A = this chain, B = another copy of it.
Amino acid sequence: MASTIKDVAKMADVSISTVSRVINDSKPVSPEARRRVLHAIEVLNYKPNEVARSLVTKKSNLIGVIVEDIGSNFVSQILRGVEEVGRMYKYDILLSSSYGDMDTEVKFANLLAQKQVEGIIVISNLHNSKLEYKLEESKIPYVVISNFYEIEKFKANIDYEKASYEMVKNLIEKGHKNIASIAVRRDYDRTYEKQKVSGYDKAMTENGLETTELFVEDLNQESLEEVQEEILSEIKEKNITAIFTTFDTLAINVMNMLLDNNIKTPDDVSVTGFGGTTISEIYRPKLTTVKIPYYDIGAVSIRKILKSITDKETSFKKDVTLPAQIIECESVKTLND
């Protein structure tokens, strides 16, 4: 059994109050008593029990995180930010992964509340209204990070339209005229996809260029295969020289598909991604992409929560727009016509 404050008190021949005082440095203690206490702590290898402490102070120093899947790269990048900043303020991360199940998410929210977490961060694209309701009801400060802009009460994200606009403008400046976009159709109107395509549109029309908006139903490979023929024929017909895609993985899948059809990137067709996830750096050709500052999104989110905890006013919402960076790599060719 680990030693308790009582053991220390006994050994140092003082009361437990005094021990508590030296541990927390809360009130003056005579040098002599402090010395004895410190010595006893050392000898007994005493470590205050955080559970007991939490019970009385009502501070768990825990932030609950509910993710859809720990596995995805961007999630771990966000987690990094959350973890590192949380750590700075002595907060620990209680992690739970829902694997895409809404009821599980709600269950976790309850569980986390019971564990007395002081804040909750949700990283999920499930658009779970029941979860939101629960969270709202629980009075625990929370932040949702997703692809759905409407679900994000507090927004710590980039300006998707602007970033897309810049990216497409960049392509145009490199001499591309016939540029297609490929976005995800699923929940298009409620996700940032809309903004991305809107940025593409803006850049194209602003330069008097014709838009070619293509869509895949979902982000997986099968969805791409479904529209493969359409994409290929559009490329031929309109003599497309560059494709603006709305996700890194989509870009990679597109490049793979093109390659399977003997169309090389960037020699034949340039391709851009969106996200700046690890894969964009490893794949060859290295992907020209928009780097979303996931770490910062996580960092800002937990900062917001910590602020809510100290200020006790969840209501005050002040969105944060993070800067996005365009990473120019090998997947885009400069046309010299």
A290 within 8 A of B: no
A43 within 8 A of B: no
Among the 9-residue stretches A5-13, A107-115, A159-167, A202-210, the one with 4 or more Cβ atoms under 8 Å from chain B is A107-115
Q: How many copies does the complex hold?
A: 2
**B70-A252 in contact (CB<8A):** no
Q: How far is B58's CA from A52's CA once the two chains are assembled, in angstroms?
A: 10
CB-defined contacts of A45 to chain B, threshold 8 Å: 137
Produce 1/0 per residue, A250-290, CB < 8 A to B.
00100010010000000000000000001100111000000
Kindly name the residue among A95, A96, A252 whose own CB sees the greatest number of chain B CB atoms within 10 A.
A95
Which chain A residues have a beta carbon within 8 Å of chain B's beta carbons? 45, 47-52, 54-55, 60, 69-73, 75-77, 79-80, 83-84, 87, 92-97, 99, 110-111, 113-116, 137, 249, 252, 256, 259, 278-279, 282-284
**A96-B114 in contact (CB<8A):** no
Kindly name the residue among A55, A84, A252 whose own CB sees the greatest number of chain B CB atoms within 10 A.
A55
Which of B71, B93, B111, B114 is in CB contact (< 8 Å) with A94?
A: B93
Main SS at interface, chain A: helix
CB-defined contacts of A83 to chain B, threshold 8 Å: 70, 95-97
A84 to chain B, nearest CB (A): 7
**A52-B50 in contact (CB<8A):** no
CB-defined contacts of A60 to chain B, threshold 8 Å: 51
